[in-house]
Structure 1
Amino acid sequence: MRKLRIAVFASGSGSNFQAISDAVHNGTLDADLQLLVCDRPQAQVVQRAKQADVPVFAFLPKTYSGREAYESEILTLLNEKEIDLIVLAGYMRILTPVLVEPFYGRMINIHPSLLPAFPGVRGIAQALEYGVKMTGVTVHYVDGGLDSGPIIAQRAVDVQEDDTEDSLAERIHAVEHELLPLAIGWIAAGRVKLDGRRVTVSS
């Protein structure tokens, strides 16, 4: 039985990509990291992937006629590599049905809040602005909405009285780096079941 074949989509520094790569390398995640997809060829995550000997598909969205055009090219590549799971790890582009539909139930995202609270790109800042005493991290399936898919795993992070966006982000990212490889491991082991909006993880 072959290992789960993963493609990671990322746009920035790639710290979650690194966490996945490290977990695969040290044997705590029994999966094959097959591909990085990045919409910013100069992003740090591209260098991380090259250092880890992970193939990279880096593209400039503005050179395509639209999102569907570059997603169609990505979909072809994913099928060629027989990708089982897409992991969105700081990928800052809205996906279309071109990718979401064929990979529904096989595409996950990590978000820096306890969804459904504070979806979108400013989850950490919104939590501080709202004055919550607790926020956290969510790993969820992607359904085409804004951070609205069924939830696989969550972990809470306390908000401290003197927190800034940077200090809170640092603690949230540390939790992300633990929770995302863990959730991928559950999927790789066949422990995750999706039934409507309900996700169960067997022991």
Structure 2
Amino acid sequence: MRVAIVASTSGSVYRFASRVPFVREQIALVVSDRECGALAAARQLGHPTVILPHAGGLAFSDALRELADAQGIDLIVSFYTRLFHGPLLDAYEGRLINFHPSILPACPGRDGFGDTIRAGTRFIGSTVHLVDTGMDTGRPLIQASAPNDPALPLAERRHRVFVQQCRSLVQVIRWYADGRVRLDAQGVNVADTRFDLAEFVPNLDCIEAIAFDAPFPG
């Protein structure tokens, strides 16, 4: 499988998840509209990089579609901070996913984790969802939750969500590589998954995702 990472941030989730050899081997391209940490990480990992110098909007989406088509990309994984538009959404329906640091539909937008904390919710978490025309409105593929323990430093709670996102990236790449992700009447479904009460729903079933950890740097 050929995966394109699209990012305009530090690329930390992509960089840490790429410690898993299976994940690193699937990534064919890292794309941004500017120089950023994700491109620096890609160069260290030996992944090809492309800058599409369009300030978001339809121009960037059209250029990304052309690039993905030319490169034979099977899955586009977004850590991009702007909306996608136009024919790209139809061409990659079900194969364009976004990572967001809140339990959607709560706290969409650029500061999902911060908005979660400010709202005083009892849970923190993350979502991987299909991209549609809205801001973080697409159907969830996998979500993760954890108690928002006020006794823990904020940095530790943020790290918990970061690790959730890393584990989710490993898992969803495995699901797509195994051909288990399907669009249905409800938007998206993963074959042969379990919905037992757990941190991740659907439950993790990829050994590399289950075993993944990134110790808190403090």
What count of residue pairs does the alignment treat as equivalent? 192
Deviation at 1:163, TM superposition (A): 4.9
Q: Which 4+ residue blocks in structure 1 deviate beyond 2 angstroms? A: 19-23, 29-32, 59-62, 66-74, 162-168, 196-200
Which of 31, 43, 46 does residue 50 from structure 1 map onto?
A: 43
Task: Report the residue type matching 1:183 in the other structure.
Answer: V
Which of 176, 186, 201 does residue 197 from structure 1 map onto?
A: 186
Which of 172, 180, 192 does residue 183 from structure 1 map onto?
A: 172
Task: Report the residue type matching 2:8 in the other structure.
Answer: S
| Cα distance per residue 1:52-94 (max 9 Å; x no partner) | 11111124335xxx732233222221111011110002x1111
Residues 201, 72 of structure 1: CA spacing in aligned structure 2 closer, same or farther, 3 A cutoff?
A: closer
State, as a whole percentage, how many aligned pairs show the same letter: 32
Deviation at 1:32, TM superposition (A): 2.2
Q: 1-side partners of 2:33 and 2:153: how far apart?
A: 29
Task: Report the residue type matching 2:171 in the other structure.
Answer: L
Kept after mapping to 1: 8 A contact 2:34/2:52: yes
1:107 aligns with 2:96: yes
Q: Which runs of 5+ in 1 are unaligned?
A: none
Which of 98, 113, 121 does residue 124 from structure 1 map onto?
A: 113
- The SS at the match of 2:188 is strand
The TM-score, its normalising length taken from structure 1, stands at: 0.86
Residues 31, 145 of structure 1: CA spacing in aligned structure 2 closer, same or farther, 3 A cutoff?
A: farther
Q: 2-side partners of 1:135 and 1:154: how far apart?
A: 11
Which has the higher relative contact order, 1 or 2, with Cα contacts under 8 A spaced 6 or more apart?
Answer: 1
Kept after mapping to 2: 8 A contact 1:140/1:152: yes
Q: 1-side partners of 2:121 and 2:38: how far apart?
A: 31
Instruction: Specify the alignment match of 1:96 in structure 2.
Output: 85
Kept after mapping to 2: 8 A contact 1:193/1:199: yes
